[in-house]
């Protein structure tokens, strides 16, 4: 059983393709949690308890954990999510060469999947691809405004660079463990990429705070029913003004997004 087999089972069990992004920004965590030993872990535990029944996956972003206490909080978070039966996708966007990328791939000892950056070529992400039981989501067409600075550049073949990335990922998918990161803010590009690589599941960020197209995210993001649509701030900080009830608002936000996406599944 590989990651996408497990993800399919989780999607069916929860009737959900929602990925809850655990971007535990220490500056936005409720004040009553700041004095905890690991505030980010205390925050994430409450969020997981409130949202797990609606979550196909949890997606912590490594940027919010890259300090000593942060790594401890992240390990606790991953273990707790696993205890709830939810797979964890680490949004780390790693890649390098040689021993460096092999060490980066050790992050998969804890997480079930990871995001990687393909712009140094296959050898820079090969140690991730070689982990047959783990998911590897390759950055392809991102939702940030500056994504087109490089991703839309036209190659001599006439195709934009992001299309070449998608085609390469289809070739690299020898173990059936490769997906693409494709933003929800460009629905036409989502549709075109789905036609180009019909078998690769997408991780679709941008639904929620970034205002991405939920219908397109579901219609084109799933490959045979498998894929993830992520919301981070729109869920975990939905109760930012609710004090100790912040987690209830997060649970309600996750449930609403699940219902919204399921209209199009």
pLDDT in the model for residue 208: 60
- Mean pLDDT value across residues 102-126: 97
Catalytic residue among 59, 93, 248, 258: 93
* Count of CA atoms in the C-beta half-sphere (13 A) of 233: 10
- Please choose, from the candidates 173, 191, 195, the residue with its C-alpha nearest in 3D space to the C-alpha of residue 182: 191
Q: What is the dihedral of CA 167, 106, 22, 206, to 10 degrees?
A: -10
Residue 38 near residue 69 (C-beta atoms within 8 A):
yes
For residue 97, pLDDT beyond 90 = yes
Q: Mean pLDDT over all residues of the chain?
A: 95
Instruction: Tell me the pLDDT tens digit for each residue of 19-34.
Output: 999 999 999 999 999 9
Question: What pLDDT was estimated at residue 204?
Answer: 95
The pLDDT-based confidence of 186 (bands split at 50, 70, 90) is: confident
**Confidence grade of residue 184 (pLDDT, cut at 50, 70, 90):** confident
Side-chain half-sphere CA neighbours of 163 within 13 A: 16
pTM of structure? 0.96
pLDDT surpasses 60 at 211: no
Share of the chain above pLDDT 90, in %: 90
What is the Cα–Cα distance from 215 to 220, expressed in whole angstroms?
A: 8
Is 93 among the catalytic positions? yes
Q: 62 vs 22, 36, 78, 106, CA distance in Å?
A: 9, 20, 12, 14
Residue 212 has pLDDT above 80, yes or no: no
Mean pLDDT of 250-260: 97
Q: In this structure, what are the phi and psi dihedrals at residue 30, rounded to the nearest 5 degrees? A: -55, 140
User: Does the pLDDT value for residue 209 go beyond 70?
Assistant: no
The predicted structure's pLDDT at residue 210: 53
Domains observed in the chain: 3-262 (3.20.20.70)
Q: Which pair of tokens denotes residue 186?
A: 């460009």
In which order are the strands placed within the sheet that holds 135-141?
A: 57-60, 18-22, 228-231, 202-204, 178-182, 135-141, 113-116, 89-94
* Mean of pLDDT values over 174-196: 92
> What's the average model confidence in pLDDT over 62-71?
97
Of 112 and 209, the structure prediction assigns the larger pLDDT to 112
Going from the C-alpha of 79 to that of each of 70, 109, 112, 133, the distances in angstroms are: 14, 12, 11, 18
Q: What is the pLDDT of residue 145?
A: 86
Band of residue 1 on the pLDDT scale cut at 50, 70, 90: confident
Specify the range with the lowest mean pLDDT, choosing from 14-28, 35-49, 175-189: 175-189
How many other C-beta atoms lie within 10 A of the C-beta of residue 70? 19
* Higher-scoring residue by pLDDT: 18, 209: 18
206 pLDDT band, cuts 50/70/90, is: confident
Within 8 A by CB and 6+ apart from 158, the residues are: none
H-assigned helices in 119-241: 122-129, 148-151, 161-172, 187-196, 214-221, 233-236
Decide if pLDDT at 71 tops 60.
Answer: yes
């Amino acid at each position: 059983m590989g990651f996408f087999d497990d993800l399919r089972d989780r999607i069916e069990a929860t009737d959900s393709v929602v990925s809850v992004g655990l971007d535990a920004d220490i500056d936005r965590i409720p004040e009553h949690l700041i004095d905890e030993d690991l505030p980010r872990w205390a925050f994430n535990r409450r969020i997981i308890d409130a949202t797990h029944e609606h979550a196909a996956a949890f997606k912590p972003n490594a940027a919010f954990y890259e300090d000593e206490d942060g790594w401890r909080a992240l390990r606790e978070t991953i273990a707790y999510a696993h205890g709830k039966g939810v797979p964890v996708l680490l949004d780390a966007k790693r890649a390098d060469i040689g021993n460096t990328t092999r060490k980066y791939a050790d992050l998969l000892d804890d997480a079930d999947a990871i995001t990687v950056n393909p712009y140094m070529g296959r050898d820079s992400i090969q140690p991730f691809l070689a982990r047959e039981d783990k998911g590897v989501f390759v950055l392809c067409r991102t939702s940030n405004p500056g994504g087109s600075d490089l991703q839309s550049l036209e190659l001599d073949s006439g195709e934009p660079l992001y299309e070449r990335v998608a085609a390469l990922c289809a070739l690299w998918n020898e173990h059936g463990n490769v997906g693409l990161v494709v933003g929800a803010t460009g629905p036409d590009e989502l549709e075109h990429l789905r036609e180009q690589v019909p078998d690769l599941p997408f991780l679709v960020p941008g639904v929620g705070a970034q205002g991405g197209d939920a219908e397109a995210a579901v219609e084109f993001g799933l490959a045979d029913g498998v894929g993830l649509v992520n919301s981070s701030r729109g869920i975990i900080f939905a109760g930012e003004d609710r004090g100790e009830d912040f987690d209830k608002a997060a649970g309600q936000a996750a449930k609403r997004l699940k219902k919204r996406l399921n209209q199009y599944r």
